[in-house]
C-alpha cells in the first residue's frame, strides 16, 4: 500500500461539539507540547485506543527502547474520548440486521476482542484506574418492538451456535433495570466491558507517561512525515522526531499521510449527554444507577445510564452520516441534537424537564469489506487503522498487532493469536455514488428501525 507521493501540511479535521465524557471530568495537568527536535526508536502517531495500546505493547516488548507518542489534539479530545464506551467481545457487525456474521469468523473475532479486553483489564489494574474507567459488567441488546425482539431471538440462536452464554430479559426485567416502560425485552451478554472512554484514555496516557522510556506529547500534530536515510522524520509545528520505526494510529486520517487513499469510508455518529440528574429525579426515575443498552436493531439508539465522577446522567447515541470531507456542518449537529432529544423524551417521559448538556459527533473509519488497514505500508512504517466503528476493542487489537509487527515479535508470543492477515480495504466507488449510496442506505435503515431508533 505504498503511498504515491510525500504529503505536506497534513491537517486534523475539527471534531463537532464538545464531548461530554471529557467535559464532566475534573481538569487535568496538560501533557507537554513537542518544542524540540528529538530522536526515538519508535514513534507512535495518535493517542487513541490504537496508539496508546501500541505504545504499551512496545514498552512490554522492548522496555529499553525509546518511544515517543505524538497526539495532534488534547489527549481524549478526539474520537477515542467521544464514543459510547462499549468494548464488545461478541460479533457486532453494524451492517447486519442482528450483528451476527458467519460462525467461524465470529469465533475468531470474539477471541481477538477478548484478548483486547484482557489487555485493557490488565492496563486498568496496572495503572490503578478508577472502576468506572473500565467496568467488565456486560451489556444488553434492548428491544422496543416485536421486530427488535425477533432480532434478539435470531441473535440468541446465533449465540447458541457459538456456545456463548446470554440471558433473555422480559419487559418487567427491563423496567426494573431502567425505571421506564419503553422496552419489551432484552438480551444480556456478560463479556462486554463498559468504559468511561475519556477517563480510560486519559489514565492510560498518564500511566504510560510515567515509564522512563516513553515520552508523550499532546497538541503536537504531525504535519509532515518523510524518509531520512533509513529513518523517518515526523515534523510538528514546533519540533520533530527522527525515528527508526513509525506506527500510524490515526484511524481514517491515515489517508492524509498518503496511504489507503480512496479505500476508507469516513462516517460520523453522534451522542448527547444529559445534565446531571438531581437526587429527586433519580428517585422518580427508579431503576439501576448504571446500565448499558445497544439497540436490538443496529441502526437504533444506544442508551446508557451512568453514575460516577460526573454525577448521574443518561446518554443517547444514534444517527450515522457519511462525510468524505471528514467534517460536518453546525446545522447537521443541530438536527442530530433534535433527534437525540426526541429519542430521549420518547423513552423517559418522566424526565421531560431534563435537558441535554452536551451533543457531539465523531469520526468512524470503515472499509467496504470490513477489514483493518493494518500492517507495514512502507519500510519502517506500520498502519494500525480502520477499526470499522468498533475501535475500543478493534483499535486495541490493531495497536497491539502493529507493535508486534514493528518489533518482529514471533507469532507464538503474540497477544492476538487469532489474527489472520486480511486483504487490503476494497476500493470505494466514485465519491458522488458513495455519498448517495451510503447516506441513502443509512437513512432507510434508520427509518426502518422505527421505535428502536
Ligand X SMILES: Cc1cc2nc3c(=O)[nH]c(=O)nc-3n(C[C@H](O)[C@H](O)[C@H](O)COP(=O)(O)OP(=O)(O)OC[C@H]3O[C@@H](n4cnc5c(N)ncnc54)[C@H](O)[C@@H]3O)c2cc1C
Binding site for ligand X (CB under 6 A): 10, 12, 45-51, 70-73, 78-80, 82-86, 221-222, 249-251, 253, 269-271, 317, 362, 364, 387, 389-393, 395
- Residue 55 Cβ vs ligand X, minimum distance, rounded to whole Å: 11
- Residue 286 Cβ vs ligand X, minimum distance, rounded to whole Å: 25
- Annotate 142-197 with DSSP letters as a single string: EE-SHHHHHHHHHHHHHHHHHT---EEEEHHHHHHHHS-S--SEEEEES-PEEE-H
Q: Identify the DSSP state of 73.
A: S
Contact between 246 and 225 (Cβ < 8 Å): yes
By beta-carbon proximity to ligand X, the closer residue of 184 and 392 is 392
Helix, strand, or coil (residue 358): strand
Contact between 244 and 231 (Cβ < 8 Å): yes
Spatial distance between the Cα atoms of 206 and 52, rounded to a whole number of angstroms: 10
By beta-carbon proximity to ligand X, the closer residue of 333 and 424 is 333
- Residue 261 Cβ vs ligand X, minimum distance, rounded to whole Å: 15
CA neighbor of 368 nearest in space, from 431, 327, 425, 438: 425
- Residue 205 Cβ vs ligand X, minimum distance, rounded to whole Å: 10
By beta-carbon proximity to ligand X, the closer residue of 121 and 175 is 121
By beta-carbon proximity to ligand X, the closer residue of 100 and 397 is 397
Spatial distance between the Cα atoms of 385 and 373, rounded to a whole number of angstroms: 5
Q: Which three cell numbers stand for residue 245?
A: 520505526
Please, which residues bridge with residue 142 across strands? 186, 295
- Residue 278 Cβ vs ligand X, minimum distance, rounded to whole Å: 26
Diameter of the chain by CA atoms? 67
Q: Which three cell numbers stand for residue 218?
A: 499532546
- Residue 72 Cβ vs ligand X, minimum distance, rounded to whole Å: 3
By beta-carbon proximity to ligand X, the closer residue of 127 and 358 is 358
- Residue 187 Cβ vs ligand X, minimum distance, rounded to whole Å: 17
By beta-carbon proximity to ligand X, the closer residue of 20 and 282 is 20
By beta-carbon proximity to ligand X, the closer residue of 85 and 185 is 85
Strand-pair category, 214-217 with 193-195: unpaired
By beta-carbon proximity to ligand X, the closer residue of 10 and 282 is 10
By beta-carbon proximity to ligand X, the closer residue of 46 and 282 is 46
Spatial distance between the Cα atoms of 231 and 64, rounded to a whole number of angstroms: 19
- Residue 194 Cβ vs ligand X, minimum distance, rounded to whole Å: 9
The cell 519540533 sits on which residue?
A: 239
* The residue count for the chain: 453
- Residue 319 Cβ vs ligand X, minimum distance, rounded to whole Å: 9
| Secondary structure E strands in 200-264 | 214-217, 224-228, 231-235, 240-248
- Residue 267 Cβ vs ligand X, minimum distance, rounded to whole Å: 9
Buried b (16+ CB within 10 A) or exposed e, 417-447: eebeeeebbeebeeeeebeeebeeebeebbe
- Residue 386 Cβ vs ligand X, minimum distance, rounded to whole Å: 8
CA neighbor of 120 nearest in space, from 86, 79, 166, 71: 86
Helix, strand, or coil (residue 318): strand
By beta-carbon proximity to ligand X, the closer residue of 207 and 395 is 395
CA neighbor of 304 nearest in space, from 58, 294, 165: 294
By beta-carbon proximity to ligand X, the closer residue of 282 and 297 is 297
Amino acid at each position: 500500500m505504498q503511498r504515491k507521493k510525500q504529503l505536506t501540511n497534513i491537517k486534523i479535521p475539527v471534531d463537532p461539539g464538545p464531548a461530554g465524557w471529557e467535559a464532566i471530568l475534573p481538569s487535568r495537568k496538560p501533557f507537554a507540547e513537542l518544542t524540540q527536535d528529538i530522536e526515538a526508536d519508535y514513534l507512535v502517531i495518535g493517542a487513541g485506543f490504537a496508539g496508546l495500546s501500541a505504545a504499551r505493547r512496545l514498552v512490554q516488548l522492548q522496555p529499553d527502547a525509546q518511544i515517543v507518542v505524538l497526539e495532534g489534539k488534547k489527549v481524549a479530545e478526539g474520537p477515542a474520548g467521544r464514543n459510547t464506551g462499549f468494548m464488545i467481545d461478541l460479533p457486532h457487525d453494524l451492517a447486519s440486521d442482528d450483528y451476527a456474521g458467519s460462525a467461524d469468523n465470529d469465533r475468531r473475532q470474539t477471541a481477538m476482542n477478548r484478548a483486547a479486553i484482557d489487555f485493557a483489564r490488565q492496563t486498568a489494574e496496572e495503572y490503578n484506574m478508577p472502576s468506572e474507567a473500565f467496568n467488565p459488567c456486560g451489556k444488553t441488546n434492548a428491544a422496543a418492538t416485536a421486530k427488535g425482539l425477533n432480532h434478539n431471538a435470531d441473535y440468541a440462536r446465533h449465540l447458541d451456535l457459538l456456545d456463548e452464554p446470554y440471558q433473555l430479559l422480559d419487559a418487567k426485567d427491563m423496567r426494573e433495570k431502567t425505571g421506564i416502560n419503553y422496552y419489551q425485552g432484552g438480551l444480556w451478554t456478560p463479556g462486554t466491558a463498559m468504559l468511561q472512554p475519556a477517563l480510560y484514555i486519559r489514565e492510560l496516557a498518564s500511566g504510560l507517561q510515567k515509564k522512563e522510556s516513553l515520552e508523550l506529547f499532546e497538541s503536537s500534530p504531525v504535519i509532515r512525515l518523510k524518509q531520512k536515510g533509513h529513518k523517518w522524520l515526523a515534523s510538528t509545528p514546533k519540533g520533530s522526531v527522527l525515528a527508526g520505526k513509525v506506527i500510524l494510529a490515526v484511524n481514517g486520517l491515515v489517508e492524509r499521510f498518503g496511504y489507503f487513499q480512496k479505500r476508507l469510508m469516513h462516517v460520523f455518529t453522534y451522542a448527547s449527554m444529559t445534565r446531571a440528574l438531581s437526587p429527586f429525579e433519580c428517585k422518580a426515575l427508579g431503576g439501576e444507577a448504571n446500565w448499558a443498552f445497544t439497540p436490538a436493531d443496529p441502526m437504533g439508539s444506544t442508551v446508557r445510564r451512568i453514575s460516577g465522577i460526573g454525577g448521574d446522567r443518561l446518554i443517547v447515541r444514534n444517527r450515522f452520516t457519511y462525510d468524505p470531507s471528514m467534517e460536518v456542518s453546525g446545522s447537521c449537529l443541530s438536527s442530530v441534537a433534535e433527534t437525540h432529544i426526541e429519542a430521549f423524551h420518547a423513552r423517559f417521559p418522566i424526565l421531560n424537564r431534563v435537558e441535554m448538556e452536551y451533543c457531539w459527533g465523531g469520526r468512524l473509519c470503515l472499509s467496504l469489506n470490513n477489514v483493518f488497514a493494518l500492517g507495514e505500508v512502507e519500510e519502517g512504517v506500520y498502519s494500525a487503522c480502520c477499526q470499522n466503528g468498533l475501535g475500543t476493542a478493534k483499535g486495541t487489537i490493531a495497536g497491539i498487532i502493529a507493535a508486534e509487527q514493528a518489533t518482529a515479535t514471533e507469532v507464538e508470543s503474540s497477544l492476538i493469536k487469532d489474527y489472520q492477515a486480511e486483504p487490503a480495504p476494497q476500493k470505494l466507488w466514485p465519491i458522488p455514488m458513495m455519498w448517495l449510496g451510503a447516506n441513502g442506505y443509512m437513512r432507510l435503515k434508520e427509518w426502518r428501525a422505527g421505535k428502536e431508533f
